[in-house]
């Protein structure tokens, strides 16, 4: 069985990091309402793919990387904001 991870694996891990961060900021009041409020107030969170902010509408704002695989290694070609 192949155990190789993908960028989707990293995205899932990053999503869990963001959720745990929101729950920790609720500090003893981990209700769905509090976690939702904290998610929507996430700002400059250092994730796996760089910093991101979640706006009041729930949309993530972050840089997008265009990468190229060359000689078996991934290289960033351009970073778009």
How much is the pLDDT for 7?
75
Q: Could you report the per-residue pLDDT of 18-56, keeping only the tens digit for each?
A: 999 999 999 999 999 999 999 999 999 999 888 999 999
Kindly state whether residue 2 falls inside one of the protein's structural domains: no
- How many domains does the chain fold into? 1
Kindly state whether residue 1 falls inside one of the protein's structural domains.
Answer: no
Q: In 3-state terms, what secondary structure has residue 56?
A: coil
Asked whether residue 72 is assigned to any structural domain, the reply reads yes
Residue 33 zone, left/alpha/beta (φ > 0; ψ -120 to 50; rest)? alpha
| pTM summary value | 0.75
Count of CA atoms in the C-beta half-sphere (13 A) of 19: 8
On whether residue 17 sits in a domain, the answer given is yes
Domain that holds residue 57: 7-80
Q: Is 5 helix (H, G, I), strand (E, B) or coil?
A: coil
């Amino acid at each position: 069985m192949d155990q190789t991870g993908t960028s989707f694996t990293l995205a899932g891990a990053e999503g869990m990091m963001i959720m745990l961060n929101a729950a920790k900021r609720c500090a003893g009041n981990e209700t769905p309402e509090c976690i939702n409020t904290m998610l929507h107030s996430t700002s400059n969170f250092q994730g796996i793919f760089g910093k991101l902010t979640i706006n009041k509408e729930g949309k993530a704002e972050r840089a997008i990387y265009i990468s190229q695989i060359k000689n078996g290694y991934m290289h960033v070609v351009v970073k778009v904001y």
